[in-house]
Structure 1
Amino acid sequence: MQRIKALISCICFFMASGAAAGAGLAADTLRINGSGSCLDLMKPLIQAYEKINRDVRVEMEPPLGSSGAVKALVAGSLDLAVNGRPLRPEEAAKGAHQQPYGRTPLAIVAGNGCPVTNITTRELEAIYNGTTTRWRNGEIIRLVLRPREDIDTRIMRSLSPGMDGAVSAALARPGMIVAVTDTDAYQTIVKTPGSLGAVGLTSVLVNRLPLVTLTLNGVRPLPRAVASGAYPLAKEIVFVTRPAPPPAVRKFLDFVHSPQGRAIAEKAGVLVAARHAPHE
């Protein structure tokens, strides 16, 4: 009889253990990826979200970039993409749905020790087209560029007609530094003497990057300056889902649009847009 009781006790124990393990496996897993500057914004949002949702586990691998994240999302390898640009028509045609979230300034930044705190459009044009090659203290200016089709490159081109041509000239010069991803860009600017480049403000603030953030034509790269139109360079932040996002995604998007989520994003340098329509 004692052996039977012991056997029953063991069976009950393993059943309870299995139920507990099953409950653990049932916890929501949220797989997020996207562009580097957008994932930097996700860091404080995810940290706050997990504090109030202990049953959620968020997986965020190194950035795939906007295009790579959309491909992974459509293939079912991601639950949510956070992109630095709107969807392309061919991406939407494959079933990706976008929800614009806001904009963050694309800041003109330089390495520590930069002798200036302001730069003008005309000065940027001269640096990019190669006419100006040194800072006022004599140090060589080392531009950190982005690939030709990158959204940051297109934003820089939009600053002025002269800047459009200057960016083309810079990309055509041999020996230029070209950083493929957002993370590569700011890490390269940090470690390169005399560096100059452009980085999303979210990355600067969230990572506390040791960089000099320059004013552009006397205007600081702040969300309110983007809102007023005084600061002309800004990156989009767009959430991308599949047509019927799982409950874990819908719940997370509700959080990022909540007053707490908006406050976190604004502190990270984002001009958060109004949520025009709820997710489907």
Structure 2
Amino acid sequence: MLLSFASGLNASSTERAPPAAKGSLYVGGTGAATGILKILVKAYERHHPLVKTVVYPSLGSGGGVKALVADKLTVSFSSRELKEEELQRGLIATRLFRTPLVIATHPAIEISAITSDQVANILSGEMTHWGNGALARPVLRPLKDADTQILMDMSDNLRQAMLTAHKRTGKNVAATDSDAADDLASIKGAIGVTSLILLRAENRRINILRLDGVAPTLKNLNSGKYPIGKTIYAIEKPTNSALANSFLTYLQTDEARAIIVKYGGIVGDY
């Protein structure tokens, strides 16, 4: 279920400033959006200095929805569409942006590209070391996680390799997007998936790879040349507070959209 933000402003209009908002704004959810949310709320605060904002550390998409329902968040952000039981609560998911899902390694792994077959071989254990002799150490996400599902949907080979990886003893499973990025930056030999906007917004020093010869750029994702990306949704209640509506309206402005594009998100129709 995808609906537009309810507001009196045109999505591309910033000519008429909305009334100044005030109060406490609490946002959070998927770790893929945490970094960009911190940047966006600072920009929002410049227009609304009476608003105090809090961006929670990665709660996960499901955790963010639960926090929204429990009135712990003003607006939640998710890397998946709403489930049926969440829709039955009247929650609304709106596409905010799409970002490339990237294959990345620890910065000490000095390679610039990888093939999907090589990723599968690392996951299955057929390839155990990098060219420099370092142990290849996959950073997995939970099997039901959106990033895992996106990778598995690329091919039957990757699906089987991922299932095999999750059966291996001593596997490393990062619970959140932020945990995965931490592991990729700190574990020598690490390889895993993360999102471009997370890496850019948080200024993460991780080695981003071309996949099957294609760089994970916005242009390549938008054209379909780059095969994998993830969508971030804003989740709202059917009866929003004035502050929630104010922030959701800001996310439609040219200023907010330019920020999202700068850090690695595609906005608008795609």
TM-score clears 0.5: yes
Find the counterpart in structure 2 of residue 21 from structure 1: none
Find the counterpart in structure 2 of residue 38 from structure 1: 33
1:177 to 2:167 alignment: no
Find the counterpart in structure 2 of residue 150 from structure 1: 145
Distance 1:28 1:173 in 2: 49
Q: Is the 8 A contact 1:115 1:135 kept in 2?
A: no
CA RMSD of aligned residues (A): 1.4
Find the counterpart in structure 2 of residue 220 from structure 1: 215
Find the counterpart in structure 1 of residue 125 from structure 2: 130
Distance 2:170 2:111 in 1: 25
Query: Quick check: which one's helix share is greater?
Result: 1
Aligned pairs for 1:247-266 (under 5 A) are 247-266=242-261
Residue in structure 2 matching 1:229, options 221, 224, 236: 224
Q: Is the 8 A contact 2:26 2:54 kept in 1?
A: yes
Aligned pairs for 1:39-58 (under 5 A) are 39-58=34-53
* Gap regions ≥5 residues in structure 2: 1-20
Q: Normalization by structure 1: what TM-score? A: 0.86
Q: Based on CA coordinates, which of the two structures has the bigger radius of gyration?
A: 1
Aligned pairs for 1:198-209 (under 5 A) are 198-209=193-204
Q: Is the 8 A contact 2:184 2:191 kept in 1?
A: yes
SS of residue in 2 equivalent to 1:63: coil
1:68 to 2:49 alignment: no
SS of residue in 1 equivalent to 2:259: helix
Residue in structure 2 matching 1:108, options 103, 128, 147: 103
* Gap regions ≥5 residues in structure 1: 1-25, 276-280
Distance 1:139 1:78 in 2: 43
Q: Is the 8 A contact 1:74 1:95 kept in 2?
A: no
Displaced runs of 4+ in structure 1, greater than 2 A?
Answer: none
Distance 1:236 1:273 in 2: 12
Distance 1:151 1:274 in 2: 21
* Shift of residue 75, structure 1, vs aligned partner: 2.1
Q: Normalization by structure 2: what TM-score? A: 0.89
Distance 1:122 1:274 in 2: 32
Q: 1:228 to 1:274 in 2, by over 3 A?
A: closer
In structure 2, give the amino acid aligned to 1:35: T
State the Cα deviation string for residues 241-278 of structure 1 (Å, max 9, x = none). Answer: 00021121111112111111100000111011249xxx
Distance 2:119 2:269 in 1: 33
Paired-residue identity, %: 33
Distance 1:89 1:100 in 2: 17
Q: Is the 8 A contact 2:120 2:157 kept in 1?
A: yes
State the Cα deviation string for residues 23-54 of structure 1 (Å, max 9, x = none). Answer: xxx93221111111112221111111111211
Aligned residues: 250
SS of residue in 2 equivalent to 1:102: strand
